[in-house]
Amino acid sequence: MAGFPDYDKYDALGLAELVKKRAVSAGELLEEALARTERVNPKINAVVHVAADSARKAIADGPPQGPFTGVPFLLKDLGAEAVGYRTHNGSRFFANYDWTYDSEIYLRLKASGLVTFGRTTSPELGVGPTTEGDVYGAPTRNPWNLEHSSGGSSGGAGAAVAAGILPLSHGSDGGGSVRIPASCCGLVGLKPTRARLPDGPAAGEGWGGMSIDGVLSRSVRDTAAAIDATAGPDLGQPYWAPSMARPLMEEIKSPPKRLRIAFMTTSFTGAAIHPECKAAVEATAKLCASLGHELIEAKPSFDFDKAMQAWSKIVACGTALSVDQRAAALGRPPQPGELHPTIRSAAEFGRAIPAPDYLAAINTVHATGRAVARFFLDHDLLLSPTLAEPPAKIGRLALSNPDFRDHRLGPKGIVHYSPFCPIFNITGQPAISLPLHWSADGLPVGLQFAGRFGDEATLMKLAAQLEQAAPWAQRRAPVHA
């Protein structure tokens, strides 16, 4: 079956509309996505476990009628349990696991009409802002510059969308893992409000409620439609986000009211950020002001170091749990070389944390959420760069450090590269990365807007307004299918 040469001219909703009008078939879109994967994936190493026959069967059976009917789609190689879509979790120790059930998030994505044909790479157990898992044989590279990372942990998703393999891909975000690749790859990446999306049936929450699913896309409306299609609690969910007054697709049809937007040109501690990132914030603040919004240089006050220590303890405990459950299932511990040094260290650290210390970390997360929420009594949104630097070079932040805490919090640790994202996993607030700046050497620099708990509507209204004022959809990475 032939492909569809005009594939790049449309976002996911646009492709679905063509399918509904019978201007193109779902089969043609799938074959185009598969051909593009074959052409570009050897350069970027973003797509794993291609399940073309499963996708073709889904089309033959008739994909559901929904907002994305017939659009090719990829799941992240972490979570998103789905029968027929084998997973590695970015790890040799977890490699080649076949699920016996479907996750609720996958079922909702499938019901929206998306046609899943494979998975995208992730760092081991989702721990890291780059995607360099040994299980994949090579790092995942950034289509804008192959010497740089596409981000993590949804780095394969970001690279696949930026390289033109597909317009929309699944991701998840426990410390920036949707927003970081969105920033690195010049895409839209929304982390929804805590518990906006389901975690079932296997879990009620991830990483103490800090982790949540999402998507990476080229358009605000694709992200809005994907959240609309997947939002809401599933059976037995322990807690859920406040209901949205209207679907996000309705919200983005009208501009926001005049907003009071705080902006940051340093990290939360006052540390300097890369000049390109500072310039990106200043230019975006001017753009927002030109649209009629009030801009104030300000940032919330809270104990940043204590919050990041708590985040690291919770992630370490989650890592230990995952490794120990896998060891129990296999009947043996991980062998040398089956876990990256940083992950082995994280698991060891997690096992050594006393239960009262874990609960104290949870209390710190909750206290940080309350402190930051007070800031949003006087400000509608907070603008910062998504990262404190442009995309890192391959290897710099790989999981090779045998000291997890140093890898995260040390003088050369991830906390200095990505200080802005994890805070909103801690607080549970929605935050979005938008592709509003490119560096002098052509690398994307994302801008993060964070909003009040439960208020994706304001974020998405502003995102749509900025997309119209400073369009990005026609930008193409140098490495493109």
Q: Provide the annotated active-site residues.
A: 76, 153, 177
Instruction: Please give the Cα distance from 433 to 121 (Å, whole number).
Output: 20
Query: Do 161 and 218 form a contact (C-beta atoms < 8 A)?
Result: yes
Other Cβ atoms closer than 10 A to 167: 28
183 and 387 Cβ atoms separated by less than 8 Å: yes
Please tell me the distance from the alpha carbon of residue 348 to that of residue 339, in angstroms, as a whole number: 12
What is the rounded distance in angstroms from the CA atom of residue 72 to the CA atom of residue 51? 12
Name the strand (E) or helix (H) holding 57.
Answer: helix 52-61
Instruction: State yes or no: cis peptide before 341, omega within 30 of 0.
Output: no
Cβ neighbours around 370 below 10 Å, total: 10
Q: Identify residue 228 by its one-letter amino acid code.
A: D
d(CA 72, CA 37): 11
Cβ neighbors of 295 (< 8 A, separation 6 or more) are 261, 262, 263, 285, 288, 289, 383
**Residue 336 CB coordination number (10 Å):** 6
Note the helical H segments in 291-403.
304-330, 341-352, 355-375
DSSP tag of 209: G
- With beta carbons less than 8 A apart as the criterion, state whether 461 and 254 touch: yes
Report the alpha-carbon distance of residue 425 to residue 374 in Å, rounded: 17
258: exposed, middle or buried (C-beta count within 10 Å: 0-12, 13-18, 19+)?
Answer: exposed
Q: How far apart are CA 455 and CA 243, in angstroms?
A: 10
> Based on the number of CB atoms within 10 Å of its own CB, is 50 exposed (0-12), middle (13-18) or buried (19 or more)?
middle
Q: Which residues contact 328 (CB under 8 A, 6 or more apart)?
A: none
